[in-house]
Amino acid sequence: MTRTSDDPRLDLLQGTLDMLILRTLRWGPQHGHGIGQAIRRQSEELLKVETGSLYPALHRLVKRGWLKSEWGVSESNQRAKFYRLTPSGRAQLIREQDRWSQLVRAIGQIMNPTPAAKE
Partner 1 sequence: MRPDDRELEDEIRSHLELSIRERIERGEDPRSARQAALEEFGSIAAARDSMHRVWYSRWLDATLLLFQEIRIGLRSLLRTRGLAITVIVTLALGIGANAAIFSVVRSVLLRPLVNRDADRLLYIRQTAPGIGTEDLTFSMPEIGDLESRVKSISAFGDFSTVDFTLVGFGGEPRVVTAGVVNGSFFDVMGLRPVLGRLINSSDDGPNAAPVAVLTHRFWTTVLHSDPAVVGKVIRLGPGNATVIGVLEPSVPYPAETQIIANVVTSPHHLGATMQKERWHRMTELFGRLAPGATLEGARAELKAVHASMVHAHPESYSAQARIGIEVKTLRDQIASPARTILLLLLAAAAIVFVIACSNVANLILGRSVRRESELAVRAALGASRGALRRTLLAESLVLCVAGAALGLLLARPLVAVAARYAARFSVRALEARVDGSVLWLGAVLAVLAAVLLAYVPRLPSFDRSSALSPAAGGIRITPGTNRRLKIFAATQIACSFLLLVGAGMLVATLNAMSTANTAYDMRQVLAVDVPPPAPGAGGEATNSFFQEAMRRIGALPGVEGVASGMVVPWRDEWSSILKFQFGFEGYHPAEGEENPTCMFRPVSPRFFAVLGVPIAAGRDFTDGDRLDTEPVAIVSQSVAQRLFPKGEAVNRHLWLDSRTGLEPTPRRIVGVVADVDDENVVQVPTMTVYLPWRQFGEPSRLFVRAAADPYALVPVVTRTLHELSADQAVERPATLEDVRTQVLTPQRLNAFVFSAFGGIALLIAVVGVAGVLAFSVGARTREFGIRLAVGCEPRQLRAGVLREGTLIAATGILVGGLGGVALTWVARRLFGVAQMPGVLPIAGAAALLVAAAILASLLPAVRASRVDVIQALRSE
Q: Would you tell me which residues interact with partner 1 (CB under 8 A)?
A: 1, 31-34, 37, 50-52, 55-56, 59-60, 63, 74, 76, 78-81
107 Cα distance to chain centroid: 20
Least CB distance to partner 1 at residue 84 (A): 15
Q: Which is nearer to partner 1, 29 or 34 (CB)?
A: 34
Q: Which is nearer to partner 1, 60 or 100 (CB)?
A: 60
Least CB distance to partner 1 at residue 60 (A): 5
What distance in Å separates the CA atoms of residue 75 and residue 59, rounded to the nearest whole number? 23
Q: Which is nearer to partner 1, 19 or 100 (CB)?
A: 19
Q: Measured between alpha carbons, how far is residue 110 from residues 24, 26, 36, 50 in Å?
A: 29, 31, 32, 31
Q: Which is nearer to partner 1, 64 or 95 (CB)?
A: 64
What distance in Å separates the CA atoms of residue 71 and residue 43, rounded to the nearest whole number? 27
Q: Measured between alpha carbons, how far is residue 16 from residues 11, 70, 73, 118 in Å?
A: 11, 24, 28, 29
Least CB distance to partner 1 at residue 90 (A): 22
Least CB distance to partner 1 at residue 103 (A): 26
- Other beta carbons within 10 Å of 67: 25
